[in-house]
Amino acid sequence: MMAVRGSRLPAMSQSVPSLEALNALPRVQQPSYPDPQATGEVIEQLRALPPLVFAGECDDLRAHLAAVANREAFLLQGGDCAETFAGVNAANIKGKLRVLLSMAVVMTYAGQLPVVKVGRIAGQYAKPRSKDTETRRGLTLPSYRGDAVNGFEFTPEARVHDPKRLVGVYNASAATLNLVRAFATGGFADLRGIHAWNADFVRNSNVEARYEALASEIERALVFMMACGVEDDQLSTVDFYASHEALLLDYEHAMTRIDSRSQLPYDCSGHLLWIGERTRQLDGAHVEFLRHVRNPLGIKLGPTTTEEDAVAIADSLDPDHEPGRLTFITRMGSKAVRTNLPKVIEAVETTGRKVVWSCDPMHGNTFETDNGYKTRSFADVCDEVNGFFDVHEELGTWPGGVHIELTGDDVTECLGGIDMLAEADLANRYETACDPRLNRNQSLELAFMIAERLAD
Ligand code: PEP
Ligand code: MN
């Protein structure tokens, strides 16, 4: 057996609690399956399947995140609010990767530091909902909880909670990861093809021109390096990691495997798992489960988070003060970020541990328009990111990263940005299965803004 890479074993080496033990704890946002036997069979089927990611990859990501926590790198995490089974196709996956790589290159070049790239991808199929039911024209049905649980279509049949969908999540995640791995190492991510990432988009905007100018600059630098004889794999491949919200306890528990090298448990459904704002109760099943797996963990922190909440959750999930173990993803909203974030950061920093501070400028800034669309304003998104950078600057702490809902397509889901999308435009291409995402131009524009803050 190989030794654990790095060093000493963490104290946290007890085994993962059984699913029965977890189910006996307070647990929220779980499906209610009609047939326990069918559910049990699906869980057993998943337990027998190969892991989707490897423990060593999770360790590598933890090491990269430790570098972020140590001010040596920046984290870019992004992707759909909710992936869908129908969205598992090459064009869609390639589009998301392309926008994330373009954003990362902008930030790396301007910020002159490595960017750790993590997709909300290959597993982001389950959604917490604020209401259990939804009513339309007098008909009340269970809410859509993501393709992992039920169908989006508003019919009684589609909205039934079906455990067989968990096998669909596994298959969709495997197919997505396979292509992501091929794109990351098979030539697509080669920096020398940086212009091509955007080739099939109409070059009609300011942000596009800015990107092209930067790409040309990078290309010239690369030609220079090659002329000097520098040839490095680092230029032709990228490290790209998969993450999702660890919401469905049945699925996450069934995907947990013991690493043959260290005998420690990893949730092999994704590299980084995060706990959502609605499921981070200290005495709840989600925290209890994730405490026991070795993956790097994210925790969403909303505007009502107290200092005590943040410290208690850090103590529970990171008793060993291990750099890179925890990423606090703060989503305070543009109005609250400047007032509520500082005390939370100060309290956690006082414990002496090194965490990644990442800003989710999406979930605190959602509202509904008069014409019935759930949306976000690009200005609010930028305002929260700027507030996040300002707060860290004042405290002398490191604004480690961002967490963005985005897509590679030219959708019309968020207002504003370079194309000045208005409420009336939302109907054109409103395609999200859940929350509104930044489109490609809005994502690139945000990347340039972040790059400027990093370069300050
Ligand atoms: C999400 O990330 O899609 C989400 C539901 O976030 P939060 O838990 O922060 O509300
Ligand atoms: Mn969302």
User: HSE on the CB side for 408, CA within 13 Å?
Assistant: 24
Percent of the chain at pLDDT above 70? 96
pLDDT at 30: 98
Beta strands in 179-271 (DSSP E): 240-245, 256-258, 265-267
Whole-angstrom distance, CA of residue 359 vs CA of residue 450? 11
> Best substitution site from 278, 366, 374 to test ligand 1's pocket, by max atoms within 8 Å of Cβ?
278
Ligand 1 pocket, residue 80 CB under 6 Å? no
Q: Residue 86: count other Cβ atoms within 10 Å of its Cβ.
A: 11
Which residue bears the tokens 């006996």?
Answer: 24
Q: Cα dist. 64→38, 69, 318, 327, 399 in Å?
A: 40, 9, 17, 12, 15
pTM score of the predicted model = 0.95
More reliable by pLDDT, 430 or 231 = 430
Sole residue written with tokens 């926590």: 69
What separation in angstroms does the CA of 303 have from each of 76, 188, 213, 330, 439?
22, 39, 39, 8, 26
Could you tell me if the CB of 81 is within 6 A of ligand 1? yes
Q: Is 257 in the pocket of ligand 1 (CB under 6 A)?
A: no
Please report the atom of ligand 1 found closest to the CA of residue 360.
9
Q: Which is the closest atom of ligand 1 to the Cα of 302?
A: 9
Q: Which of 387, 404, 414, 406 is nearest to 303 (CA)?
A: 387
Average pLDDT of the chain is: 94
Structure tokens at 210: 């800015």
Please check the confidence at residue 58 and state whether its pLDDT lies above 50.
Answer: yes
Residue 356 CA, ligand 1 centroid: distance in Å: 18
C-alpha 49/C-alpha 172 separation (Å) is: 14
Ligand 1, atom 10: nearest CA belongs to which residue? 277
Contact 40, 20 (CB under 8 A): no
CA 57 to centroid of ligand 2, rounded, Å:
26
Span 443-456, average pLDDT: 94
Q: How far apart are CA 171 and CA 192, in angstroms?
A: 33
**ipTM of the predicted structure?**
0.99
Residue 11, pLDDT score: 45
> 277 CB less than 6 Å from ligand 1?
yes
What value does the mean pLDDT take over residues 432-442?
96
| HEC letters along 389-431 | HHHHHHHCCCCCEEEEEECCCCCCCCEECCCCECHHHCCCCCC
Atom of ligand 1 nearest to the CA of 82: 3
Q: Report whether residue 300 contacts ligand 1, using a CB cutoff of 6 Å.
A: yes
Instruction: Say how far apart CA 316 and CA 283 lie, in whole Å.
Output: 10
> What is the per-residue pLDDT across 94-146, written as a single tens digit (0 to 9) for each?
999 999 999 999 999 988 999 999 999 999 999 999 999 999 999 999 999 99
* DSSP 3-state of 236: coil
Segment 35-63 shows an average pLDDT of: 98
Determine if residue 324 is left, alpha or beta; phi over 0 gives left, psi from -120 to 50 gives alpha, anything else beta.
left
Ligand approaching nearest to the C-alpha of 300: 1
Q: Hey, is 107 helix, strand or coil?
A: helix
As to burial, measured by CB atoms within 10 angstroms (0-12 exposed, 13-18 middle, 19+ buried), residue 376 is buried
Distance 435 CA to ligand 2 centre (A): 5
331 in contact with ligand 1, CB cutoff 6 A: yes
pLDDT of residue 394 exceeding 90: yes
Which of 331, 362, 376 to probe ligand 1 with, by most ligand atoms within 8 A of CB?
Answer: 331
* 140-194 pLDDT, tens digit each: 999 999 999 999 999 999 999 999 999 999 999 999 999 999 999 988 888 888 8
What pLDDT shows up at residue 206?
78
Confidence of residue 14 (pLDDT cuts 50, 70, 90): low
Strands (E), 282-386: 297-301, 326-330, 356-359, 366-368, 374-376
- Supply the pLDDT for residue 199: 64
CA quadruple 188, 190, 191, 194: dihedral, nearest 10: -20
The closest residue, in CA terms, to atom 1 on ligand 1 is 81
Interhelix angle 440-455/206-227, rounded to 10 degrees, is 60
* Residue 277 alpha carbon to ligand 1 centre in Å: 6
Give me 123's structure tokens: 């597993």
Ligand nearest the Cα atom of residue 274 = 1
Decide: 319 in ligand 1 pocket, CB within 6 A: no
Beta bridge partners of residue 266, listed in sequence order: 257
Residue 12 has pLDDT above 60, yes or no: no
Averaged pLDDT for residues 286-308: 98
Task: Compute, in degrees rounded to 10, the torsion defined by CA atoms 135, 83, 146, 431.
Answer: 10
Stronger pLDDT, 325 or 223, i.e. the higher one: 325
Residues facing 258 on adjacent strands: 265
Average pLDDT over residues 329-339: 98
- Nearest-angstrom CA–CA distance, 332 and 144: 25
Instruction: List phi, psi (to 5°) of 450.
Output: -65, -40
- Distance in angstroms (rounded) separating the CA atoms of residues 125 and 4: 31
From ligand 2's centre to the CA of 132, what distance in Å? Answer: 16
> pLDDT by residue (tens digit) across 243-280?
999 999 999 999 999 999 999 999 999 999 999 999 99
Cα–ligand 2 centroid distance for 400 (angstroms): 20
In 3D space, the residue among 357, 317, 314 whose CA is nearest the CA of residue 337 turns out to be: 357
